[in-house]
């Protein structure tokens, strides 16, 4: 990757000796993006070198994002071979992919670490890479864990592991098994807190493999201080290592000035957004990981069109009903700058798969959501958005359900109706979430202070 300058989002500086931080994300966009955003936040703050280790495939994928800004000069990218199933087929057999990450990444990562000069002073690794702790022990280097999902999922997996170890798991999670460990939420059913449609074996793999952070130096989370207060209190009561909420790790610092010399705001879709009334457009994106059946995609397309609400829809692989969509209906494109779109004045709603990064971006932008979860933590994230925070509507109740166009029309119209009392309430609540979120990211805000404290702690290893 080429290097380039980025605006420094931090007005004050902290003095540390030169050091080398190595970051190793889990190979998925929802994990790589927050790790890279963390590295961007670190780069102007201390005199250091940062190395990000990615597969060759992911380096090509990131490089192909033409509007992505260059990395700062002190962030380098090193590659490991494509030892994993392709990102394009990852969703077809996620268990196979996860097992490959556990068994095939270790050796090539070791080789890269052996070649680094200067060597790593600290390694920040995704929480789903448990093998990193042994690698760091061999080098007498502290390992830091980055958790890129919600605190609720973190603690639910921890409790799942404790129940499993004690032989207290039910045959399934559909009955009355409840846990009272999460106060101030609408339901404590373990079925609502753990990723659904997931086998016990995969849940066991996740919960036990990320358990390595007990011997870790510290744990970083992409949440912010006032978002999941009660859950974070419970987590801190169970773990002795320092835990720092430094999120959201989204590219907020790249919003202004524009990070791209070619000015992405001049793109056709931004010109189209500029021509729309305030809060009139529904932004639609269901992520890049899993595909949706052609039948369901057709229902979504027709529901959007029949709602008469204008929409901007990101469709990466398939273009449905393009012949029925014009500038008076909506705009369909294969990719967009999501956070910049969500922050645009004409966007008033977000139809989302409810991935954690997308959820945090919606909160940052103050945009209420319609949720359409597909996999893993997206269903529990929907529960947070709809039931606990009350900043969105649920489009489907279970994984087997095909959502008909009539339901899509109903939910889209309700969300985008500013005279609807429920919609008004959601907008008022997410406006408050937005204020707290953006305050956490400001200079002197809680997330910056937590990141400062983390850096002060790890700097003791350097001096």
Q: What is the pLDDT along the chain (463 residues), one digit of tens a residue?
A: 433 333 334 333 444 457 899 999 999 989 999 999 999 999 886 678 899 999 999 999 888 765 567 888 899 999 999 998 887 777 677 778 888 998 999 999 999 999 999 999 999 999 989 899 999 999 999 999 999 999 988 887 777 776 666 666 555 555 444 444 344 444 444 555 555 545 666 666 666 665 676 788 999 999 999 999 988 998 898 888 999 999 999 998 777 544 444 454 558 899 999 999 999 999 999 876 566 888 888 899 999 999 999 999 998 766 667 777 888 889 998 889 999 999 999 999 999 999 999 999 999 999 999 999 987 788 889 989 998 999 999 998 766 678 899 999 999 999 999 999 999 999 999 999 999 999 999 999 999 999 999 988 887 766 5
**What integer pLDDT is reported at residue 173 of this predicted model?**
53
Please give the domain boundaries of the chain with CATH numbers for all domains. 259-439 (3.40.50.2000)
**What integer pLDDT is reported at residue 230 of this predicted model?**
86
pTM over the 0.85 mark: yes
**What integer pLDDT is reported at residue 82 of this predicted model?**
92
Neighbours of 142 (CB within 10 A): 20
**What integer pLDDT is reported at residue 160 of this predicted model?**
72
**What integer pLDDT is reported at residue 94 of this predicted model?**
76
Q: 412, 308 in Cβ contact below 8 A?
A: no
Q: Taking Cα atoms as reference points, which of 44, 52, 49 lies closest to residue 20?
A: 49
Who contacts 91 (Cβ-Cβ below 8 Å, separation ≥6)? 289, 290, 291, 375
Strand partners, 311: 282, 330
**What integer pLDDT is reported at residue 5 of this predicted model?**
35
For the record, the structure tokens of 89 come out as 């087929």
């Amino acid at each position: 990757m080429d290097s380039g300058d980025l605006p420094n989002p931090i007005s004050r500086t902290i003095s540390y000796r030169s050091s080398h931080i190595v970051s190793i994300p889990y190979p998925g966009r929802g994990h790589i993006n927050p790790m890279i955003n963390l590295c961007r936040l670190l780069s102007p703050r201390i005199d250091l070198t940062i190395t990000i280790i990615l597969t060759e495939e992911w380096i090509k994928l990131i490089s192909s994002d033409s509007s992505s800004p260059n990395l700062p000069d002190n962030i380098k990218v090193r590659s490991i071979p494509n030892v994993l199933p392709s990102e394009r087929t990852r969703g077809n057999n996620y268990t196979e992919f996860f097992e490959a990450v556990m068994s095939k990444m270790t050796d090539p990562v070791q080789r890269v670490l052996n070649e680094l000069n200067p060597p790593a002073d600290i390694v920040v690794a995704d929480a789903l890479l448990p093998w990193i702790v042994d690698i760091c022990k061999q080098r007498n280097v502290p390992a830091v864990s980055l958790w890129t999902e919600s605190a609720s999922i973190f603690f639910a997996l921890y409790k799942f592991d404790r129940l499993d170890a004690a032989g207290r798991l039910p045959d399934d999670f559909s009955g009355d098994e409840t846990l009272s460990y999460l106060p101030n939420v609408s339901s404590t059913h373990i079925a609502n807190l753990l990723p659904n449609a997931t086998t016990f074996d995969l849940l066991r793999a996740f919960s036990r493999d990320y358990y390595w952070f007990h011997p870790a130096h510290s744990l970083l989370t992409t949440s912010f201080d006032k978002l999941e207060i009660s859950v974070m209190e419970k987590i801190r009561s169970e773990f002795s290592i320092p835990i720092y909420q430094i999120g959201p790790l989204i590219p907020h610092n790249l919003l202004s000035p524009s990070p791209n010399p070619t000015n992405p705001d001049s793109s056709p879709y931004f010109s189209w957004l500029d021509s729309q009334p305030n809060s009139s457009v529904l932004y639609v994106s269901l992520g890049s990981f899993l595909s949706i059946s052609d039948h369901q995609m057709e229902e979504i397309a027709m529901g959007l069109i029949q709602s008469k609400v204008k929409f901007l829809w990101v469709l990466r692989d398939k273009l449905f009903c393009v012949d029925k969509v014009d500038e008076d209906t909506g705009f369909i494109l294969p990719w967009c700058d999501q956070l910049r779109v969500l922050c645009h004045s004409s966007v008033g709603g977000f139809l989302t798969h409810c991935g954690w990064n997308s959820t945090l971006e919606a909160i940052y932008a103050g945009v209420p959501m319609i949720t359409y979860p597909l996999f893993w933590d997206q269903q529990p994230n929907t529960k947070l958005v709809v039931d606990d925070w009350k900043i969105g509507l649920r489009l489907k109740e279970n994984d087997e359900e095909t959502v008909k166009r009539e339901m899509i029309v109903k939910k889209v119209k309700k969300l985008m109706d500013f005279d609807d009392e429920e919609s008004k309430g959601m907008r008022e609540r997410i406006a408050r979430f937005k204020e707290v979120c953006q305050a956490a990211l400001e200079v002197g805000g809680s997330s910056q202070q937590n990141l400062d404290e983390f850096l002060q702690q790890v700097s003791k290893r350097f001096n």
